Amino acid sequence: MKHRTTLVLGVALIGLGLAGMTAVWLLGSPAAPSAPRGGFASLGQQIYFTGADAAGPIPRAGGPSHMASARACVGCHGATGTGGSFGMMRNFEVPDIRYSALTSPHPEDDPPTPAWTDADIARAIRDGVEPNGESLDAFMPRWDMTDDDMNAVIAYLKELG
């Protein structure tokens, strides 16, 4: 009987722990303070690292709102913007979004990738569409950003390279 009680208590604690982890995963971190604070040098940097502007979390117009890493750009593209691969069940290749990488043509790609403009970058972030009209990967969130927030993010991408 003592072992059964221990087993039931253990299962209950595991369930409680899983419920807590799920809540953190779904709710994310608390909303960011007014921009830029908390060590952020600019509004663009704050948005890149937190997914929030001065008013709070920036709403998403689509994409994987259920993914914890989708709360901010840094979750997938990394602190330096160079991307890479990530995933647990499936690996995803995340592109380099430094300004220098986006605005340089890549003739070696098949098909060749043209240089992006600021308008192309904004369209990719808001609508998930590449300059050639193709959709970005479904895992790329579509952010409902104001023009001021978008300009701040693009300015920060320029700082990244």
Q: What number is the average pLDDT over the span 92-101?
A: 90
Strand 92-94, strand 56-57: pairing: unpaired
* 24 Cβ neighbours under 8 A, 6+ residues apart: none
pLDDT of 113 strictly over 90: no
Q: Which helix (H) or strand (E) holds 142?
A: strand 142-143
Sorting pLDDT into bands at 50, 70 and 90, what band is 132?
Answer: confident
Cα 55 to chain centroid distance, Å, stands at 18
pLDDT of 159 strictly over 70: yes
Q: What is the pLDDT of residue 64?
A: 54
Better-scored residue on pLDDT, 161 or 131: 131
pLDDT of 65 strictly over 80: no
pLDDT of 68 strictly over 90: no
